[in-house]
Amino acid sequence: MAMATAPTTDKSEQAAAPARWQDFVQLLKPRVMSLVVFTALTGLICADHAVHPVLAAVAILCIAVGAGASASLNMWYDADIDAKMRRTRSRPVPAGRVQGADALALGVVLSIFSVMLMGMALNWLAAGLLAFTILFYAVVYTMWLKRWTAQNIVIGGLAGALPPVIGWAAATGTTPLNAWLLCAIIFMWTPPHFWALSLYTREDYAKAGVPMMPVVAGAASTRRQIMIYSLLFTPLCLAPAFTGLGGPIYLAVAAGGGLVFLVLAARLARSHAGDDLGQRNDDGLYDVRVGAKDARNMFAFSILYLSLLFATLLGEHLMGVRPLALLGALQR
């Protein structure tokens, strides 16, 4: 699919309301930022390496600001798409409250500051990974994949999956297997999560010309692919208990939650979610047509499950719960 027209800034010339500082905060997508902070903190704590608390806080701040910077760059470039979708049309740039050029400037400045501070305060491996993540999200995902292929969120999911690796690298200066395992869990979680959402916001993506899987391959194919990814994702969530990362509480949460995840994916696969392209009554993310409730449930539970997995790992490492390392036990 050809790239859509380049974003323009003149829409903001018609701005009705002056830009408030809160609009610039909104450019940083604070809700997404909070999830990034949470997963990065889990990576940093799970590294089990003594870091000065001030430097640990600076590392998390750099990752948060870096995530905000890439969000601002995304909002600059995607203003044309955002203006066509109910979920995003009230964002500062499409709504005309902030000029596109200002969003671009904010993104570039915060990217440079976050990467440089990470390098100088922690280490350059973490800074390099942070720079790669920002560039991957802003350039590879936003400018290329998103408008070009139905695999956009699959490949682009790497950007959202890297924060725990950056956190781990910030603490230790290395990225061992367990850090990449956390990355793999988020990476495999992304397709079921976003495709469930896109099943019941399909008409929005179609209108904006974004080739999301339900738009390109149809709802039935998307529901099948969600099931396939769920079958791969849920066993992967058990892996930390085998590699010396997760303890008994983690194993229980991962197994129990994984079963619920699979049940919801199976229900969604049998449903007709995303089949009809009618209009919804409102803009609510969770208030959907009756037929799409299975997709909504899958979307909501996916957030809860990932949060529980990382919260459990975080809790176990903070409380000093001994990891299981079942792989070592099996080898013995």
Partner 1 sequence: MSDPIRETEAETKARRGRNIALALGLILFVILIFVVTIVRLGGSVTNATTP
Interface residues toward partner 1, by CB under 8 A: 13, 15, 17-21, 24, 52, 54-55, 58, 61, 113, 117, 120-121
Residue 210, sorted as left (phi over 0), alpha (psi -120 to 50) or beta, turns out to be beta
C-beta of 24 vs 38, nearer to partner 1: 24
C-beta of 26 vs 312, nearer to partner 1: 26
C-beta of 53 vs 320, nearer to partner 1: 53
Minimum separation from the CB atom of position 121 to partner 1 (A): 5
Find the angle CA(296)-CA(298)-CA(303) to the nearest 5 degrees: 100
Total residue count of the chain as it appears in this document = 332
To the nearest 10°, the Cα dihedral for 121, 124, 129, 135? Answer: 90
C-beta of 120 vs 259, nearer to partner 1: 120
Minimum separation from the CB atom of position 20 to partner 1 (A): 5
Minimum separation from the CB atom of position 51 to partner 1 (A): 10
Minimum separation from the CB atom of position 214 to partner 1 (A): 40
Q: Do the Cβ atoms of 34 and 102 come closer than 8 Å?
A: no
Listed residue (103, 139, 278) closest to 207, CA to CA: 278
Q: Is 249 exposed, middle or buried (0-12, 13-18, 19+ CB in 10 A)?
A: middle
C-beta of 18 vs 320, nearer to partner 1: 18
Minimum separation from the CB atom of position 120 to partner 1 (A): 7
